[in-house]
Amino acid sequence: MDMSGTFEKRLHKHMDELKWLYIELYNNYDMLAELIDEMRSFYEERDIDLKKRDELRERDGGKWYKSNDMLGMMLYIDNFAGNINGVSKKIDYIEKANVNYVHLMPFLDTTEGKSDGGYAVSDFRKVRKDLGTMEDLEKFTKLCHKKNINVCMDYVMNHTSEDHEWARRARTGDGEYMSRYYFVNNQEIINEYDRTVPEVFPTTAPGNFTFIPEIDHYVMTTFYPYQWDLNYKNPRVFNEMMYNFLYLANKGIDIMRIDAVPYIWKELGTTCRNLLQVHTIVRMMRMICEIVCPGVILLGEVVMEPEKVVPYFGYTGKPECHMLYNVTTMASTWNSIATRDIRLLKKQLDIVAGLPKEYIFLNYLRCHDDIGWGLDYETLGRYGMEQISHKRYLNDFFLGYAGGSNSRGELYNDDPVTMDARFCGTTASMCGIERALEEQNPWMLREGINMDLMLHAYMFMQSGIPVLYSGDEIGQLNDNDYKNDVHKAGDSRYIHRGKFDWDKAKNIDKKGTVEELLFDGLLKLEKIRKTEKAFVSQADMWTVDTGDNGCLCIGRYYAGDKIMGLFNFTEHEVTAWNIENDGEYRDLLTGKIVDTRKITLSPYGFYLLKKRDCA
């Protein structure tokens, strides 16, 4: 029972708007009443410690995720430590890496060989057998909370696996379940969709529909053919998916990554992305969280250009996601490495710096997916770079074929029709560390390590939360083993989803090894980020022209503290002229005083300069 009346108070606060949106979308009062009843039950079932956590977080107004000591790491449970209990046993390593937010990559039940890395869920209430059980998950989140670590998981809401119970029943022709997906038996309609809906996986899974012979119908499958798109026009789908969400939230999850969220509403004649109803649904999810489990926050996965990403934060007073990925900045970062030109990146950083400070971005260099070259080609055009040939250059560069590059990796969804391809590889391999080790070239190795550290230092300088991709902290290389696995060979994203190498991780204590240089280098940067107040999310952030297109300068200011970061994106020495003339600056890494009228940076070098008269 809700003796404190907390649930009712929160419900009261949001009820008007929730009802308005629900009825506008579904016009179904019975289903709304059912939703509220279920929400109440989930609240009642919620663990007392989680409720306390909710209340603390409600009171601190989101400070917990906005502070500058958040550092994330995303990892695959099996690659990292076999199963959930294995990850629990390795918690010391996670702590040693300074990480206080662990993203466990998809771990719910899925069918081997038809799992899309776990993004084809066959049961939202069951952990994949080889990874453990729901009890293990609960134990893990409890352990993390004791250690002040937050846990993030994926909520794959756009689709289910074809082996999900609903899909199985739909396959028998049961109308109740068919109505939970998008079934069509008319080729004309499919053609009409295909005219306006772009393909996500043009070569690995072309088309947007899959034929289901048992019932002589096609089902919409935006991603792989075994990932059936859910029909959110059906309120039963929305309600049930919210119950699954709350069930998982009650296992102690702090951050829900809502996967592929722009795709959840479909309309004939549109691109079936970012439709208004998507925002209604995300807004309702936000309110449902705030009523049942306000300690849980939403991380939206919107892999699109900035003007499409930002609306997912919602409006003042009507927020949607708490956090979003800074995807264009990530792609622009690698573009700067390939072109030795930071102009586009600088422009992108200025756009982000101009957004309200409550917008929290997740910054990253690499994640489990490919890098899509969704850059601002209008601006690049002004610098003389044309879209198709530039994309080709970027891919050739990172394949190690062009532009004096030492990078290694593979193309992803190389589409002969659009001439478009994306790129896969680990940070270390893209920085040239793999090639340097293979060729036993110490000079190339040093350059690769410097590039890798500079990129992390620059990432830490951005506003928001930095997230490491597990293995990057020790320079994990591309892993070609996936090519021997029939279920993975067709998907080059597995090249950067290799097993964590615990033997190499032992080297983090051995001076001068790649692992030690990177791990220790990152620790130093994390310490600066944690202790310097200019790194809080509310700080001002801006960029400065250095007079050299290869050298990026970012400033941060908060409550009297000022830090200027300088980053050399080239293999040459560069000089930054007159970045400041307001006093003396000291480098936070070496402690040396630096003359800001003329600063010379070594190849892929960087400085974090703090104004001297700061507190």
User: Segment 223-242, which members bind ligand GLC (CB under 6 A)?
Assistant: 223
Are residues 127 and 179 in contact, defined by beta-carbon separation less than 8 angstroms? no
Nearer to ligand GLC, 46 or 366 (CB): 366
Give 155's strand partners.
258
578 alpha carbon, distance to own chain's centre:
36
Residue 377 Cβ vs ligand GLC, minimum distance, rounded to whole Å: 22
Choices 22-30, 113-121, 332-340, 411-419; region in contact with ligand GLC by CB under 6 A: 113-121
* Known catalytic membership, residue 30: no
Q: Which residue is nearest to ligand GLC (CB)?
A: 119
Taking the C-alpha atoms of residue 308 and residue 600, their distance in angstroms, rounded to an integer, is 38
Residue 240 Cβ vs ligand GLC, minimum distance, rounded to whole Å: 18
Nearer to ligand GLC, 18 or 424 (CB): 424
Q: Which residue blocks in 300-375 are alpha helix, DSSP H? A: 306-309, 327-339, 343-353
Are residues 216 and 185 in contact, defined by beta-carbon separation less than 8 angstroms? yes
Choices 111-119, 136-144, 308-316, 537-545; region in contact with ligand GLC by CB under 6 A: 111-119
Nearer to ligand GLC, 58 or 369 (CB): 369
The number of residues that bind ligand GLC (CB under 6 A) is 10
User: Segment 166-225, which members bind ligand GLC (CB under 6 A)?
Assistant: 223
Taking the C-alpha atoms of residue 108 and residue 160, their distance in angstroms, rounded to an integer, is 11
Site string for ligand GLC, 508-537 (x = CB under 6 A): ------------------------------
Are residues 72 and 152 in contact, defined by beta-carbon separation less than 8 angstroms? yes
DSSP-derived 3-state class of residue 534: helix
Q: Which of 163, 290, 301, 410 is catalytic?
A: 301
One-letter amino acid for residue 29 of the chain: Y
Q: Which is nearest to 590 in space by CA: 608, 566, 565, 569?
A: 608
Q: Which of 136, 229, 254, 259 is catalytic?
A: 259
Q: Which is nearest to 283 in space by CA: 312, 326, 310?
A: 312
Nearer to ligand GLC, 251 or 422 (CB): 422
Nearer to ligand GLC, 257 or 456 (CB): 257
Taking the C-alpha atoms of residue 344 and residue 350, their distance in angstroms, rounded to an integer, is 10
Q: Which residues contact 343 (CB under 8 A, 6 or more apart)?
A: 379, 383, 549
Taking the C-alpha atoms of residue 435 and residue 452, their distance in angstroms, rounded to an integer, is 14
Nearer to ligand GLC, 74 or 518 (CB): 74
Q: Which is nearest to 213 in space by CA: 176, 172, 174, 159?
A: 172
365 alpha carbon, distance to own chain's centre:
10
Site membership for ligand GLC, residue 69 (CB under 6 A): no
Instruction: Output the six-digit token pair for 324.
Output: 């979003």
* Known catalytic membership, residue 526: no
CA angle (476, 130, 76) in 5-degree steps = 25
Site membership for ligand GLC, residue 116 (CB under 6 A): yes
Residue 194 Cβ vs ligand GLC, minimum distance, rounded to whole Å: 19
Q: Which of 117, 173, 314, 547 binds ligand GLC (CB under 6 A)?
A: 117
For 476, which DSSP code? P
Residue 490 Cβ vs ligand GLC, minimum distance, rounded to whole Å: 13
Q: Which of 87, 253, 260, 518 binds ligand GLC (CB under 6 A)?
A: 260
Are residues 512 and 87 in contact, defined by beta-carbon separation less than 8 angstroms? no
Nearer to ligand GLC, 227 or 407 (CB): 227
Measure Cα distances from 574 to 59, 549, 607 in Å.
48, 9, 12
Residue 204 Cβ vs ligand GLC, minimum distance, rounded to whole Å: 10
Nearer to ligand GLC, 301 or 447 (CB): 301
Residue 108 Cβ vs ligand GLC, minimum distance, rounded to whole Å: 12
Strands 540-544, 465-469: parallel, antiparallel or unpaired by DSSP?
A: unpaired
Nearer to ligand GLC, 101 or 325 (CB): 325
User: Segment 6-65, which members bind ligand GLC (CB under 6 A)?
Assistant: none
Site membership for ligand GLC, residue 76 (CB under 6 A): no
Nearer to ligand GLC, 370 or 472 (CB): 370
Site membership for ligand GLC, residue 259 (CB under 6 A): yes
Are residues 412 and 496 in contact, defined by beta-carbon separation less than 8 angstroms? no
Strands 465-469, 183-184: parallel, antiparallel or unpaired by DSSP?
A: unpaired
User: Segment 571-610, which members bind ligand GLC (CB under 6 A)?
Assistant: none
Choices 116-124, 209-217, 387-395, 421-429; region in contact with ligand GLC by CB under 6 A: 116-124
Residue 328 Cβ vs ligand GLC, minimum distance, rounded to whole Å: 15
Are residues 298 and 259 in contact, defined by beta-carbon separation less than 8 angstroms? no
Choices 21-29, 47-55, 112-120, 563-571; region in contact with ligand GLC by CB under 6 A: 112-120
Residue 305 Cβ vs ligand GLC, minimum distance, rounded to whole Å: 16
Question: Cα(first)–Cα(last) distance of the chain, in Å?
Answer: 51
Instruction: Output the six-digit token pair for 47.
Output: 């663990």
Are residues 529 and 564 in contact, defined by beta-carbon separation less than 8 angstroms? no
Site membership for ligand GLC, residue 369 (CB under 6 A): yes
Q: Which residues bind ligand GLC (CB under 6 A)?
A: 116-117, 119, 156, 223, 259-260, 301, 368-369
Catalytic residues: 259, 301
